[in-house]
Chains A and B, each alone.
Chain A
Amino acid sequence: MQDHAHIRNFCIIAHIDHGKSTLADRILELTQAVSAREAQDQLLDNMDLERERGITIKARAVSLRYHADNGEDYLFNLIDTPGHVDFNYEVSRSLAACEGAVLVVDASQGIEAQTLANTYLAVDHDLEIVPVVNKIDLPSADPERVCHEIEDIIGIPAMDAPQISAKTGVNIRAVLEQVVALVPPPKGERDKPLCALIFDSYYDSYKGVIVYIRVMDGALRAGERIKMMATGAEFDVVEVGFMGATSLQPQDELCAGEVGYLTASIKTVADTRVGDTVTLARDPAAQPLPGYRKVNPMVYSGIYPVDGARYPDLRDALEKLQLNDASLSFEPETSAALGFGFRCGFLGLLHMEIIQERIEREFSLEIITTAPSVVYQLTLTGGEELQIDNPTNYPDPATIESAREPFVKSSILTPTQYIGTIMELCQERRGEYKDTKYLDDTRAELHYELPLNEIIYDFFDALKSRTKGYASFDYELCGYRDSKLCKLDILLNSEVVDAFSLIVHADRAYPRARRMAEKLKETIPRQLFEIPIQAAVGGKVIARETVKALRKDVLAKCYGGDITRKKKLLEKQKEGKKRMRQFGSVEVPQEAFMAVLKLD
């Protein structure tokens, strides 16, 4: 075991694209190079392997040896944090495993919304902040200004902040020296009952779930029986150790202050929830570590295979993804329009997009996704409480006593010239203005409380396009509020297409209905007959568009030389038809499902 004084547990926090991963790569290289003096041969192998894989900390945490300028060797545990608001809870658990955070700020862009959000989160966890100014190699870099920003806005000293370029490798050592100097060594007592925080886990087909833990108190050895304090699940530990950059390094024990992994033939990540406390079954801790909560999906949508025959493949894909992602939930659902599919729950929009992309890329499945929905709370006239995340289950409006929808506290960082535009946008999205803080002469932070349902469609896109990409956005859930809801249905050729139904705020139904009808008119090609598109609330049509009938699509000349070509054309048309979804007699292209989600 290592003495506490020479352990540094830290993470790197940054706004997206400010260079967090690149810095992590450089730190890895640098610390490996130090150990290279001790074991030259092995290092080369490792480096080759890393080069093949592209050096990135795939694992969420890595243990590194660092030989500091003071002549002493340190054990660094670098814990990666997901950079997006959807994973806020995971971030907070990762931070709870650390004593310090390296704050990376882009030397030209300065402080952004996530910089602030992550910094506040780190400060909430009593972490020591080590500011670093990155990308000083850029022509537009202005590290002096950014240091001032850090001091003025965040309120931490930054004049000594290392000015680095993770890309070119300049000054990386200075960052590590700062970590040694500023980040406090871990506390915790070896003799207390075991108390270890789970901050991540992943499924390995040989070892079962590999659980990443930070031991707060006590010690853990292979062979011990452990208990997960929140889920109550018990397991016999097979192995404990440190996470090397390229491989797991088994150890005899992990003890207070250390970061490492355990394996215990665990079959599913659902048993190893992030934030749970691991203790010993024979000598349990009196109290679990604070802060655990079960993460509940915030956004739901239906996922359907384009080719109905691939439904089993879709189930398989979701099951495999769930092995490593306990926050993904899914259950079978059927749609009159789309056939068999799954209702999936996600932490947020990004999470949803990641899952969709992984299904398409890793499993080569073409999918159709229905409009995302948040979870609404309804009280029926009979007093019954309902949670609704699927328009299909929306009850008869006459039976609804009251309805509530989730709100988020949002913060938007923007150059001051866009304040007006952003206020307009937030107003349109039923936002409630809180306040504006001027960070300096050119930038402001706006606070709004917004209904979650207004930001799950296209809020990011709208914000980006209206501010030329300069504004950044962050949010967290802040509870439920009373709301007037209604279900908006789309009818094609007088038949309801359930896959297009939405639950919306009553005041927003009309504009949304209009835009949806317009968008469908744009995306549904002219067909052999006229297609009325109607948007209806409670059986009342509130918007209508018409796709005019196709009038001419003919091969005027078809003689001896045209027959082969004409036949190919026919086959192409059949192919094209396969990319369409048939609703009654109407053919709807798959793009239509995506198009109605992006209405701005």
Chain B
Amino acid sequence: MPKPEGLYIHVPFCRKKCGYCDFYSVPGTQEDYDRYTDQVCQMLLDCPFGSRVFDTVYFGGGTPSLLGARNIDRILQAAASRHTLTGREITLEANPNTVDGAFFGDIHRSGVNRVSMGLQAAQPLLLHTLGRSHTPGDVTRAVELARGAGIENISLDVMLSLPGQTLEDILQTLQFCIELEVPHISAYLLKIEEGTPFDCQDVRGLCPDEDLQSEHYYRMVCFLEHHGLLQYEISNFSRPGFESQHNLGYWKLVPYLGLGPAAHSFLDGKRFHFERDLPAFLAAKDPWSLRQDDGPGGDFTEFAMLRLRLREGLNLDEAQAYYGVDKEQFLFRAQRFIPLGLVQQSGSSLRLTPRGFLLSNPLIARLLGD
């Protein structure tokens, strides 16, 4: 039995682009959705990597719910016909104000057992600033509909560091999630990426400063942990057992196949991706020909930088066994960050504290040394 892997489907459609988003998405017609689905199905059937075993499937975007239940079913059917789907976790990102009970019922029957939706903030004003068209009420309704359809594993996205956002706004938003009793929350610090509308509008001045942002982050971590949603990654919190298995796969170097424009893969030791070009994808006779090589993957740098994103941290016995890393030297390098409260050591494992998580870019670079 081959080792289980992840399957990622990038659905590059959105009705409207949000001001902060730099994921690849464009508006599409029903015709585009169907054509896109044809192409993904064909790729699954023609997979040059042979027949795989997919433990998890993740429909990300974009707005995967736009495809409609029928297309999602087609993709899962195609995947199952050529490969093995264990059905352990099949997640779909959905837009809370364009879904209904029938949709959730349909996708659940097709195998989807986890839904991730963007709440972002519980304040209509902040949602407006973000350019989101849903209301907090839409989210409540969508969560109830999903549950009604039998999908209990629900995740909500929330955002920090928003222009004008206060600590009270954040705590109110988190309280909203707690009251909905969702078992998983992803909480992202807004990063204004180059070329996004936020970048052009220059809203940075309206965002909380660095010190305030870090304060907000710690308060969030405390609040969620207090309510039983434990931090298992820099931006992810869940009740025990509800961690995203698919995403954990990324951080533990589980291989994954990503299909669709702008999707990345790590398969058989190699990283590759498909171009951010929907028209080319739709027009391609063989979409596999759009593959761009990113070179080998899975080295110690990746292993360490990804493990250090996790609460469980980096086990250096494991690192020594897999990569021949000098464990003592690595632990020695980490010592000076322990009294600073950024790193904790237990036995042969190192992990970052929440303060360390917030500084993970420079911290991981220094832990890795030269």
Contact = CB atoms under 8 A, between A and B. Distances in A.
Contacts of A39: none
Interface string A558-580: 11110110110110011001000
A555 interface: yes
A556 interface: yes
Nearest to B186: A557
A560 B88 CA distance: 19
Interface string B201-226: 00000000011011001000000000
Contact of B191 (A528, A556, A567, A573): A556
A564 B247 CA distance: 16
A561 B263 contact: yes
A554 B356 CA distance: 9
Interface stretch (B44-52, B105-113, B294-302): B294-302
A565 to B, nearest CB: 9
B16 interface: no
Interface residues of A, number: 25
Contacts of B302: 563, 567
B238 to A, nearest CB: 16
A381 interface: no
Contact of B306 (A529, A550, A558): A558
A563 B8 CA distance: 14
A555 B247 contact: no
B344 to A, nearest CB: 15
A563 B362 contact: no
A528 B214 CA distance: 13
Interface string B1-35: 00000101010000000000000000000000000
A437 interface: no
Contact of B365 (A552, A557, A559, A577): A577
B305 interface: yes
A585 interface: yes
Nearest to B336: A585
A557 B188 contact: yes
Interface in A524-540: 527-529
Contacts of A560: 6, 8, 250, 256, 258, 263-266
B361 A563 contact: no
Contact of B305 (A529, A559, A566, A585): A566
Contacts of B188: 556-557
Given A561-B264, A561-B273, A570 B210 contact: no
B334 interface: no
A551 interface: yes
Contacts of A570: 301, 305, 361, 364-365, 368
A552 B235 contact: no
A563 B250 contact: yes
A552 B363 CA distance: 11
A552 B262 contact: no
Interface string B326-370: 000000000011001010000000000000011111111110101
Interface in A150-194: none
A560 B10 CA distance: 11
Given A558-B306, A561-B263, A553 B297 contact: no
B250 A558 contact: yes
Given A563-B264, A564-B271, A570-B305, A552 B189 contact: yes
A566 to B, nearest CB: 6
A71 B155 CA distance: 102
B234 interface: yes
Given A558-B306, A559-B250, A573-B365, 17 more contacts: A528-B359, A551-B210, A552-B214, A552-B358, A553-B358, A554-B359, A555-B191, A557-B235, A560-B264, A561-B258, A561-B264, A563-B250, A563-B271, A564-B264, A564-B294, A570-B305, A574-B368
19 contacts: A551-B213, A552-B358, A552-B359, A553-B358, A554-B357, A555-B360, A556-B189, A556-B191, A558-B234, A561-B262, A561-B264, A563-B271, A563-B306, A564-B273, A564-B297, A569-B361, A570-B368, A573-B365, A585-B336
Q: Which 5 A-B pairs have the closest CB atoms?
A: A551-B214, A573-B365, A561-B264, A553-B361, A556-B188
Interface of B: 6, 8, 10, 60, 188-189, 191, 210-211, 213-214, 217, 234-235, 247, 250-251, 256, 258, 262-266, 271, 273, 294, 297, 301-302, 305-306, 309, 336-337, 340, 342, 357-366, 368, 370
